[in-house]
Amino acid sequence: MEDMRQIYENSPFNNFLGIKLEEFEEGSVVYSLKVTPAHLNVNQGVHGGVYFSILDSVMGATIRTVIKQPIVTVNVTINYFAPVENGETMIARANVIQHGKSIMTAEGIIEDSNGRLLAKATGTFKRIRSR
């Protein structure tokens, strides 16, 4: 698990966005992101793509802690519930809800530091098989 944790702590994309790995255990991954002006859209709220990115990342990482193999995203459905502004912190966590032979499904949520639900997603992921 420690080798896998290092992969996620050193993710170039997550580091670019400012996503921090807070918890990494089998079946339980938590990410946080401190909102900066670079995350904002033209309405001064966090861009929906940032919500997507942290949810996709936390769901994928959570599944990978369970199956211990690389995966790719097949589909993600997101519901956005509340805006987030500059300086606030987003906290994302996920759980595996279906584990098949090659397809897995997870649910992810984002909350603010007060526990207010900001967004929820369901993602489908496919195991990458060795050739």
pLDDT score of 25: 94
Q: Looking at residue 31, what is its pLDDT?
A: 98
What pLDDT is recorded for position 1?
80
Q: What is the mean pLDDT of each run of 10 residues along the chain (131 residues)?
A: 87 95 96 97 94 98 95 97 94 96 97 97 93 65
Q: What pLDDT is attached to residue 131?
A: 65
Query: 128 by DSSP, 3-state: which?
Result: coil
Structure confidence at residue 4 (pLDDT)? 84
Give the pLDDT of residue 130. Answer: 73
What are 18's two structure tokens? 């400012």
Residue 55: name the closest of 34, 76, 86 by CA.
76
Q: What share of the chain is helix, strand, coil (3-state, %, to 5)?
A: 30, 45, 25
Q: Which CATH superfamily is domain 2-127 in?
A: Hotdog Thioesterase (3.10.129.10)
pLDDT of res. 15: 95
Answer yes or no: are the C-beta atoms of 121 and 76 closer than 8 Å: yes
